[in-house]
Amino acid sequence: MPTYKAPIENVRFVLNEVFDVSQIAKLPGYEDATPDVIEAVLEGMAQFCEEVVQPLNLSGDAEGCKYENGVVRTPKGFKEAYDQYVAGGWMGVTSNPAYGGQGLPHTVGAVLEEFVTSANMSFGMYPGLSAGAIRAIEHWAPDDLKQLYLPKMVAGTWSGTMCLTEAHCGTDLGLIRTKAVPDTDGTYKVTGSKIFISAGEQDLTENIIHLVLAKLPDAPPGVKGISLFIVPKFLPKEDGSVGPRNGVMCGSIEHKMGIKASATCVMNFDDAKGWLIGEPHKGMRAMFTMMNAARFGVAMQGLGIAEVSYQNALAYAKDRLQGRSLTGAKATDKPADPIIVHPDVRKNLLTMKAFTEAARALSVWIGMQLDVIEKHPDPKVRQEADDLLALMTPIIKAYFTDMGSEVANLGVQVYGGHGYIHEWGMEQFVRDARIAQIYEGANGIQALDLVGRKLPQNMGRPLRRFFHPASQFIEAEMENPALAEFMPLFAKAFGKLQQATAVVAQKGMANPDEAGAASTDYLRMFALVAMAFMWMKMVKVAVAKLPEANGRASFYDAKIKTARFFFQKMLPETETRFRTIMAGSKPLMDLDMEQF
């Protein structure tokens, strides 16, 4: 049976020592978000995840969701856990107080998403989808619809979904066939079928609010003809209570590889009453409000699975006795040494540890940009934060989820044969993590977004939001003797990234296949350099604090040693990625289709 303990000490280090979270409380509207308040919120969610949600993870995976005649039942204990989640006010932690939310920073929300995913990824899907729907409705819906839907959704008594994909088109949403026909009362009749709808039907909430992409009768072809509609499962009455059933029904649920306790539904709309939000034919712009938030959330899923996989692999490696250390017995009072003495096991564990700790720092840095975008009084500062968020969203979505899957597999490897057995929980992490590389835009799509849209956007302005602070850090700290071991390695990798950026941009303009062929390697290279940047920031703090650390000396010393592993064993991957980028598109595109 796997276990989970929220990594409060590591979170506290990143929030308070690496990035001064107290600065968030200086933003208008976040005055109450002091470090003490944030600490209390994190500890409360940690307790809820450890005691309520995590114990349902293994059993929920074994039981799965049940479908019968349009009704979906979640596994035993999920309804009670969700009711506790709602009663604790967790749904509205980062939501607007105008609709009943607590208005805490998105920086905090990102950490909470990690906790929930580590404890039970399937459970976290239900409120996670609602959070994205809340953002889209608040940003794009007219006031009357906001007042009708948001208080219930923020409270958690109503939930939300995003209905994009159709069986024939996948990511190419310009091909959708769902139609929305204007009705005489100003609403629309929505008809069509959507697939892969997470939480499309469930027994946790009294109503489900679907955000549906559809085309009006006069819609131009392609993505320029898509509009966005609110389509509730039950039509709300004027007093906000649940009214009659709308023309929407779950046709089936998918039998999936993982996240089995999360209902993935086929949703059928038959003249369902809907309300347009945003402008006609501008639905993709509105939906991206939800999709970008979801992509950040999926990145946190990658981190969450990696963290819980690491925790359990570490505990097992310390306990499992097998073989003797190559340099002589370490546990002389036992018949064998714990497997953590073996170099290959340590390599696996250190890869897991080095990823999770730097990814957490990177997620906090990006989460802080969301708060600056929403609250900072200076439009120039808001624009700079928005540029950085736009640049980093595809990078962290793809890299965190790739590594979440990789780390989960390493966890199975540490367990050996036991890792392949359901009761230990490790193989579930592998299955659950795998979907995060696919949904909200498969990772290849994220790489294309990075090189095709983000690099050339506004003459490279988003790139400068990362390149400038990284360059400034190198210039400021190059002569710092405490960082002498790490700085040359970081500077070299950063220089290679700059060189690769120029090559991808130049070749991509002449031949789009060149950009496409380089995209995945370039994203991975960028991610590794971003992680190195985070490790430089963490090492700088650890080195400064270590001499007077007293009881925390081991904590800071471990940061430095883990950074050493990252720089010497993981960052060199940038060299390989660089060489692959330089090889160009010919090795990929040279083979005729018939020759495959």
Catalytic residue among 114, 138, 440, 514: 440
Count CA atoms closer than 13 A to 130's CA, side-chain side: 33
Given a cut of 90, is residue 1 above it in pLDDT? no
Given a cut of 90, is residue 171 above it in pLDDT? no
- What is the per-residue pLDDT for 434? 98
Given a cut of 80, is residue 486 above it in pLDDT? yes
Query: What predicted TM-score, i.e. pTM, was given to this entire model?
Result: 0.96
Query: Percent helix, strand and coil across the chain, each rounded to 5?
Result: 65, 10, 25
Strand-pairing partners, residue 207, are 158
- What is the per-residue pLDDT for 169? 86
Kindly indicate the confidence band of residue 550, based on its pLDDT and cuts at 50, 70 and 90: confident
Kindly indicate the confidence band of residue 101, based on its pLDDT and cuts at 50, 70 and 90: very high
CA distance 104 to 33: 6
Q: What does the chain come to in residues?
A: 596
CA distance 540 to 156: 42
| 3-class SS string, 231-287 | EECEEECCCCCEEEECCEEEEEECCCCCCCCCCEEEEEEEEEEEEEECCCCEHHHHH
Reply yes or no on whether 440 is catalytic: yes
Residues 369/293, Cβ–Cβ less than 8 Å: no
What are the structure tokens assigned to 92, written together? 């509205």
Burial of residue 21, with CB atoms counted within 10 A of its CB: 0-12 exposed, 13-18 middle, 19 or more buried: buried
The CATH classification of domain 8-143, taken from the options 1.10.540.10, 3.20.20.450, 1.20.1250.20, 3.40.50.300: 1.10.540.10
pLDDT for 37-86, tens place per residue?
A: 999 999 999 999 999 999 999 999 999 999 999 999 999 999 999 999 99
- What is the per-residue pLDDT for 173? 82
- What is the per-residue pLDDT for 223? 87
- What is the per-residue pLDDT for 66? 97
CA distance 34 to 399: 31
- What is the per-residue pLDDT for 291? 77
Residues 381/390, Cβ–Cβ less than 8 Å: no
Given a cut of 80, is residue 186 above it in pLDDT? yes
Helix (DSSP H) and strand (DSSP E) numbers for the chain: 17, 11
Given a cut of 80, is residue 289 above it in pLDDT? no
DSSP code of residue 94: T
DSSP code of residue 568: I
What are the structure tokens assigned to 543, written together? 């080195």
Given a cut of 80, is residue 287 above it in pLDDT? no
Given a cut of 90, is residue 583 above it in pLDDT? yes
Instruction: Classify domain 158-282 by CATH number.
Output: 2.40.110.20
Residues 102/108, Cβ–Cβ less than 8 Å: no
Kindly indicate the confidence band of residue 407, based on its pLDDT and cuts at 50, 70 and 90: very high
Kindly indicate the confidence band of residue 202, based on its pLDDT and cuts at 50, 70 and 90: very high
CA-nearest of 297, 450, 463 to 384 is 463
Radius of gyration of the chain (CA): 24
CA distance 289 to 294: 9
CA distance 533 to 321: 37
- What is the per-residue pLDDT for 290? 74
What DSSP letter does each residue of 35-73 carry, written as one string? HHHHHHHHHHHHHHIIIIIGGGHHHHHHH--EEETTEEE
Kindly indicate the confidence band of residue 203, based on its pLDDT and cuts at 50, 70 and 90: very high
Kindly indicate the confidence band of residue 293, based on its pLDDT and cuts at 50, 70 and 90: confident
- For 303, 413, 433, 437, the CA distances from 424, given in Å and listed in that order, are 20, 13, 16, 23
At which residue do the structure tokens 């409270």 appear? 155
pLDDT for 339-393, tens place per residue?
A: 999 999 999 999 999 999 999 999 999 999 999 999 999 999 999 999 999 999 9
Strand-pairing partners, residue 321, are 338
Q: What is the mean pLDDT of residues 243-254?
A: 97
Give the domain ranges of the chain.
Answer: 8-143, 158-282, 459-590
The percentage of residues in the chain with a pLDDT greater than 70, rounded to a whole number, is: 100
- What is the per-residue pLDDT for 544? 96
- What is the per-residue pLDDT for 553? 96
Q: What is the mean pLDDT of residues 282-287?
A: 84
87: how many CB neighbours lie within 10 A of its CB? 9
Q: What is the mean pLDDT of the chain?
A: 96
With residue 543 as reference, give the H or E element that holds it. Answer: helix 512-545
Dihedral sign of CA atoms 548, 553, 556, 561 in order: positive
What's the one-letter identity of residue 39? Answer: E
CA distance 202 to 124: 13
